[in-house]
Structure formats: structure tokens, C-alpha cells
């Protein structure tokens, strides 16, 4: 579905990002993952290599625009184009506001909002020159319904939705589509470690009676990145088993 496409995935070393990198590579895209550290990127690339998937990787500081721009230039020199960008890197929060430090507020907004804007800003000129591109953002079900604590996380994801809808309108005339996927409760490492007495009520609250998998989200990204979604832009696609109801 993505033959000859060049796709960058931030936060691509584990969880949803890693699963998406794997699925995109299986669909013949040239995938480039971004991670926070050299060792995590190399570890992810080794795992993908054991599956016979040749993926590339970089680890620029996503809060350093000059470093991102330099990396994008290297990617263009190597691959000639950037067709797809997935802004997936992010951190969550669950503390009550009075227990949240200023540093923690800055960290979540720096990675979940500012870094997303920096990476997008660095990629857009190349996509405009090509007269095509797809930008996909990882949002969350809490971007629609909020959450009872950890307000910085829904704040950042409400921002992601606003960025997605606004850039879809701004970049549409350049044939650049912009969408987001809003995952529900997904079986990541963190969720997998929760005890049965915590997991069972969560499952019971979901109409589909199961927790989502990273692959569920990767499939949504694959659809939105492909030509099957050529008339879909400005959409926040909920993939949550109707958990919000």
C-alpha cells in the first residue's frame, strides 16, 4: 500500500510507533524512525532487521529546530523526498495539577506540542516542493473527553487536534493531507504491567470488551497514509472501541 513512499515516524522505537514502522515497512515504504537516544534507535533497528525489514533511524533532539532541520536535509540527500510524517513522540501525565511541577508542565508541552510543530515545520517545505505529502499526528481519546487528572496531557492533545485541523486547511492547496489518530486504551508496556483488578474494570467499560493493540492504531495510520484516504484530511480518527461512551 505504500510502495516507494518515504515515511518518517517520531517515537518509532517502541509501542505504537514501532508497530507502525513495522507495518509500513511490510507495505514496502522506506521507513525512517526517530528516537530519543542512539541505543534505543539501534535496538529497534536490530529488531526490525530480524524480521527482514530494512529501516533507517536517527535521534535528533526534537526540541532543537536546527538539529531537526539538519536531519531532514540528510534524509532528503539520501532518499530525495519525504512522503509521510507521523508525529508520534509524546509523554503522558497523571498527577493532579497541584502536584505537577512547572518543569513537568514544560516537558509535556515541549514534546507533545512544540516538538510536533518543529518537525512539521521542517518537513513542510519539502512536501510543498513535491506538491504532495501526508502528515499524521498521534492524538488521544482524552483530546475529546479530558481525563480526571494529569491535565497537561489532554491540554497537549487538544492542541494536537487544533494543529491537525488548522494545517489541513492551510496545506490542502499544496496537496498535503493532515489527519490524526486518537487511540483509546492500548496494550502498551505500561498498561500490560497493570494488575488484573485494574485491567478487568477497564475492559468491562469498553463496548468491544477488549483493550486495543498497537497494531489497531498502526492499521489506522496505514489507511490514512495510503491513497485509499486520498480525500480524507482534517480528521481526528477515534480508535478506541467506543471506550469514551
Q: Provide the 3-class DSSP secondary structure of residue 187.
A: coil
The dihedral built from the CA positions of residue 53, 59, 60 and 63, taken in this order, carries a sign that is: positive
Let me know if 79 is a catalytic residue. Answer: no
Find how far residue 16's CA is from the centre of its chain.
8
Cβ(137)–Cβ(163) below 8 Å: yes
Cβ(234)–Cβ(32) below 8 Å: no
How far, in Å, are 174, 177, 219 from residue 232 at the CA level? 14, 7, 15
| 228: Cβ contacts below 8 Å, ≥ 6 apart | 1
Burial of 200 (0-12, 13-18, 19+ CB in 10 A): exposed
Closest C-alpha among 158, 163, 162 to residue 145? 158
Q: State the catalytic residue, choosing from 59, 126, 153, 223.
A: 153
Which active-site residues does the annotation give? Answer: 153
Amino acid at each position: 500500500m505504500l510502495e516507494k513512499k518515504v515515511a518518517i515516524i517520531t517515537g518509532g522505537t517502541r509501542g505504537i510507533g514501532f508497530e507502525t514502522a513495522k507495518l509500513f515497512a511490510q507495505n514496502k515504504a522506506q521507513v525512517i524512525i526517530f528516537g530519543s537516544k542512539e541505543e534505543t534507535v539501534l535496538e529497534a533497528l536490530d529488531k526490525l532487521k530480524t524480521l527482514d525489514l530494512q529501516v533507517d533511524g536517527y535521534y535528533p533532539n526534537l526540541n532543537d529546530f536546527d538539529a531537526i532541520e539538519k536531519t531532514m536535509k540528510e534524509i532528503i540527500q539520501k532518499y530525495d523526498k519525504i512522503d509521510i510524517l507521523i508525529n508520534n513522540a509524546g509523554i503522558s501525565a497523571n498527577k493532579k495539577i497541584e502536584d505537577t511541577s512547572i518543569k513537568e508542565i514544560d516537558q509535556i508541552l515541549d514534546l507533545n506540542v512544540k516538538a510536533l510543530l518543529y518537525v512539521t515545520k521542517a518537513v513542510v517545505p519539502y512536501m510543498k516542493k513535491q506538491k504532495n505529502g501526508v502528515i499524521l499526528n498521534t492524538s488521544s481519546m482524552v483530546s475529546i473527553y479530558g481525563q480526571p487528572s494529569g491535565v497537561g496531557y489532554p491540554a497537549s492533545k487538544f492542541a494536537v487536534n487544533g494543529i491537525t485541523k488548522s494545517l489541513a486547511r492551510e496545506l490542502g492547496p499544496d496537496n498535503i493531507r493532515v489527519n490524526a489518530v486518537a487511540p483509546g486504551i492500548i496494550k502498551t508496556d505500561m498498561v500490560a504491567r497493570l494488575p488484573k483488578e485494574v485491567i478487568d474494570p477497564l475492559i468491562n467499560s469498553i463496548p468491544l470488551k477488549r483493550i486495543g493493540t498497537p497494531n489497531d492504531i498502526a492499521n489506522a495510520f496505514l489507511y490514512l497514509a495510503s491513497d485509499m484516504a486520498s480525500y480524507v484530511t482534517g480528521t481526528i480518527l477515534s480508535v478506541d472501541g467506543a471506550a469514551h461512551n
